[in-house]
Structure 1
Amino acid sequence: MPLRALHTLTDIAPENWDRLLPDDQPFLRHAFLLSLEESHSVRPEAGWRSEHLVWQEAGKITAAIPGYRKHNSSGEYVFDHGWADACQRSGIRYYPKWLGAIPFSPVGGARLLGDAMAARQLLVDLPDYLAQQGLSGAHINFTDAPADALLREQPQWLERLGCQYHWLNHGYGDFQDFLATLMSRKRKQMRKEREQVAESGFTFRWYQGDELTETQWDFIYTCYANTYAVRGQRPYLTRHFFSLLAARMPEQIRVVIASLGEQPVAMAFYLIDSHTLYGRYWGCLAEFNHLHFETCFYQGMEYAIAHGLQRFDAGAQGEHKLVRGFEPQLTRSWHQLQHPGLREAVGQFLNEERAGVRAWAVEARESLPFRRGD
């Protein structure tokens, strides 16, 4: 078959994978995905088995989807636990399933990589692959517009909408320019939050990936892991992942470390491409008033403005972002379910859910803090 699976990215040369990518988004790079594998952040014991689907013609890979065989629904950020529970009650097998996504990263972007015609043929042949492999279905999360167009052509795929909140740089010269676009009460609130952090003695320093020592990476990981520990959970990523990533793609890593006096107390880990700053992980050693907002939001906004970036994606969820100028953005995922009854029931649910998500996005836009036109 032209469609085949790669169970590790070591089976394809980095340059052959990366030439399929449409842009420089870091999450799709061979280096990022391989670091997840080799650090054992992605591993079968945690419910993730690498299963990247590729389309090969005349010995050359012309299209691909980064993917995984899943035995649970953790770390996906498109929540289908209810579907799995309903299957269990009805005696329908839901796992294993196949997932086309970037693990632990609710970031929109290309999912159907390479030549569009080859990607279309991959989608056409995918149901046969699922049946042969005994998979309950396929799910492709956080797609971009070209992938949406190809998936919409296939009637068996069900569309699901979500909503995130992104900060957009409308040509601001500095942070004060942004504040000037806000209603007075919101502008004063942000200024007060930032002033309280500054008056408490916090300082902030930005680093590129290759500017950080292993001791600093130890601190970064401690902060990251602590965000899970306080909830009694195990972190998705291992410490080794950060060292691998720093060695392989340091130019796309940014970290801001917050210090109180000489003591580092918090950090935010970002990735970057030519137009977007992606806020991924945050952590602190103790709780401080407004420090999260400053480290994760305001520092990122200032960085985006200073470096001419168009967008700041600070992560999934978080309606509290609205009052700080993060604008609602619809996200899409696509689902192909092999069981006819399950497909029909989920299809009906998604029809209602899409209407609700669209209505919420409109309502959320009304909550933005920007000054209204005269």
Structure 2
Amino acid sequence: MRLRESIDIRISSSLASIDADAWDQLVGEDDPFVEHAFLSLLEESGSVGRGSGWEPTHVTAWRGKRLVGALPLYLKTHSYGEYIFDWGWADAASRLGLSYYPKLVSMVPVTPVTGRRFLFAADDNPAEIVKRLIDGCHEAAESTRASSIHLLFLNPEEHDWVARDGRLMNRLSFQFHWRNEGYGDFEDFVGNFRSSMRKKLRKERRVAAEAKLQIEELRGDQLGMDDWLALERLYRATCGRKGSYPYLTPAFFELAPSRLDGSPLVFTAKDEGRIVAASINFAKGGHLYGRYWGATRRHDMLHFELCYYRLIEHAIDHHMRRFEAGAQGTHKLRRGLMPVPIHSAHWIRNPVLQEAVADFLPREAFSVQQQIRELRHHGPFRRAGDESLRPNRASG
């Protein structure tokens, strides 16, 4: 019997050094953000890289000349744009006289979405490749003298693999996601709400419609340069109003038409032919991801229309399984997005800080589980015994 070649680990400072087709053969069917095109667009546009605090340090696994595994990894000099917060850990490190930065983070930069971090072909041995990619993270930590390793927004299967490996500590948080329960259309979805919640949702949609704006749905291949430049202006203006840092550079939007395929999904609102608001989203396979919102001025309820209701309609119409609407936001609950557990995994070099965090994480997880249960109880959906009959579509 022929023995399999051993797996060698390499660390890459740029995706440009890795063949795009070889990388994308490892990517799952539902994840547009770890495709070579998206990650390399972040690098090429300067949204990550020198000066951004996100230095590409990707781990790749090879059998001979064949790429068999990969893990997007970044050397970070701050904790911004992660959305699984470790500021308290950084403060504790400072009190101990330790340097918390640089650290290593595996996620899609400034993109709080779940998905595969451990990339490998479907017919390969996941346990072996996961182990070697974690080995690679530790090799990168040694070569960069990083204080810690953080694997963020793991999917549940990856959470189990990492737990079995045993070298990283598991952490629990939560987000609000929408799940398709086999709805026939949007009204079928709303029909599962309690009466008071149905009325509020329908009122929000009526208010948005009264603005008399023209709503358009555009896929990536329908978006031209003028569209992307208009989206960039909305994005930057909204970041300025909210006081948030515009992580995506102008070059990201300029390069997007030639780099991204059909995965972008944009809903625009136009007033006399001019885009006045838009949501930028991404779709692949059975998953839909809400990402950015921008508007020139306030329009009542338009944010909810373009960022939630139109996307849920799209997901139902296209038989998609899940819609993720980004980080935080309990306001999502009453609109049908329910709390779900989010998994991450962590390793800290300093044993004193590692022990303190290890003591904290189970207590944090217990609190998160309680929050999830409480929030689910207050969701908009009918509970057993609330209503004996399903409402007809004309009812409130």
- Smaller-chain TM-score range? over 0.9
In 2, distance between residues paired with 1:291 and 1:95?
A: 40
Residue number in structure 1 paired with 2:13: 7
Give 3-state SS (helix, strand or coil) of 2:130's partner. helix
CA RMSD of aligned residues (A): 1.5
Residue number in structure 2 paired with 1:174: 185
CA contact (8 A) 1:109 1:142 kept: yes
Give 3-state SS (helix, strand or coil) of 2:291's partner. strand
In 1, distance between residues paired with 2:384 and 2:370?
A: 23
Bigger proportion of residues as helix:
1
In 1, distance between residues paired with 2:136 and 2:185?
A: 50
CA contact (8 A) 1:246 1:253 kept: no
Residue number in structure 2 paired with 1:313: 324
Alignment: residue pair count: 374
1:91 to 92, 97, 110: 97
CA contact (8 A) 2:71 2:133 kept: no
2:227 to 216, 233, 236: 216
Give 3-state SS (helix, strand or coil) of 1:127's partner. helix
CA contact (8 A) 1:159 1:332 kept: yes
User: For residues 275-326 of structure 1, what are the alpha-carbon distances to aligned partners after superposition, in whole Å with 9 as ceiling and x for unaligned?
Assistant: 0111100010001111111111111111111111111111111111111111
1:29 to 32, 35, 57: 35
Residue number in structure 1 paired with 2:391: none
In 2, distance between residues paired with 1:180 and 1:86?
A: 49
CA contact (8 A) 2:177 2:338 kept: yes
User: For residues 188-233 of structure 1, what are the alpha-carbon distances to aligned partners after superposition, in whole Å with 9 as ceiling and x for unaligned?
Assistant: 1111111111122122100111212222211111111122101333
Residue number in structure 1 paired with 2:118: 112
In 1, distance between residues paired with 2:216 and 2:259?
A: 22
In 2, distance between residues paired with 1:128 and 1:195?
A: 56
1:18 to 16, 24, 48: 24
Q: Does 1:66 align with 2:66?
A: no
Stretches of structure 2 that go unaligned for 5 or more consecutive residues are 1-6, 386-396
TM-score by length of 2: 0.91
2:52 to 46, 49, 61: 46
CA contact (8 A) 1:97 1:137 kept: yes
Q: Percent identity?
A: 38
CA contact (8 A) 2:73 2:106 kept: yes
In 1, distance between residues paired with 2:136 and 2:296?
A: 50
In 1, distance between residues paired with 2:133 and 2:28?
A: 18
CA contact (8 A) 1:163 1:361 kept: yes
Q: Rate the CA distance shift 1:65–1:353 in 2: closer, same or farther, 3 A.
A: same
Give 3-state SS (helix, strand or coil) of 1:46's partner. coil
Look up the equivalent residue of 1:280 and give its one-letter code: R
Once the two structures are superposed, the pairs formed by residues 268-283 of structure 1 within 5 Å of their partners are 268-283=279-294
Q: Rate the CA distance shift 1:241–1:354 in 2: closer, same or farther, 3 A.
A: same
In 2, distance between residues paired with 1:217 and 1:206?
A: 14
Give 3-state SS (helix, strand or coil) of 2:242's partner. coil
Residue number in structure 1 paired with 2:297: 286
CA contact (8 A) 1:64 1:119 kept: no
Residue number in structure 2 paired with 1:76: 82
Give 3-state SS (helix, strand or coil) of 1:242's partner. helix
CA contact (8 A) 2:149 2:346 kept: yes
1:46 Cα deviation from its structure 2 partner = 1.5
1:243 Cα deviation from its structure 2 partner = 3.6
Residue number in structure 2 paired with 1:240: 251
Look up the equivalent residue of 2:287 and give its one-letter code: T
1:95 Cα deviation from its structure 2 partner = 0.8
Look up the equivalent residue of 1:340 and give its one-letter code: P
1:357 to 351, 368, 374: 368
Look up the equivalent residue of 2:230 and give its one-letter code: F
TM-score by length of 1: 0.96
